[in-house]
Amino acid sequence: MDLGIGIGLYGMPIEAEIRNATTGEQFLSEDFIAPLPVFAFRGDFLIIPKLFFKLNIDFFYIEIDKFTGDITDARLALEYNIWEHLGVGLAYDTFAAGVKAEEGTDWPGIDFIGKIELEYSGLMLYAKLYF
C-alpha cells in the first residue's frame, strides 16, 4: 500500500460569450484563466501481484471577496502491470469545477458576473509505459 498527499495548481481557462439566439448579436465576450490550488490524496493498493487498486482525489474550495471557485476531481482505477515497463488500466473518472462572481465584483482585469460550471464523468481504458 502506498498513500500520499500533495498540493498543486490547476489553471482553468475560461472563454465565454453571450449572444442573442434570434439575431446572433454578441452582447458579451470574456476570456481569462482562473488559477485554483488543489489538495490531493493518492492511494495505491496491491490486490495480487501486478494488480493494483488506485484512488486519486483532488479538491479545493475558495471564496475571495465576491468570487467563489471549486474543483473536485476523483478517479478509481484497476491497473494491471503486464510486464515490467507496460501496464493497462480501467478507471472511472469524475470532474467538477465552477467559478462564480456576484454582482458588484470589481477585480482588476476581470469583468465577469455570473456562474460557470463544468462537469464530466466516465470510464477510461488506458495504457501506461514505465521507464
Total tally of structural domains belonging to the chain: 1
Range of the domain at 101: 2-129
**90-125 per-position pLDDT tens digit:** 999 999 988 788 766 565 556 667 787 889 999 999
Q: For the whole prediction, is pTM greater than 0.95?
A: no
Cβ partners under 8 Å of residue 24, min gap 6: none
Q: For residue 23, is it left (φ>0), alpha (ψ between -120 and 50) or beta?
A: alpha
Cβ partners under 8 Å of residue 9, min gap 6: 35, 36, 37, 38
Tell me, what's the pLDDT at 108? 57
**49-105 per-position pLDDT tens digit:** 999 999 999 999 888 777 788 889 999 999 999 998 999 999 999 999 887 887 665
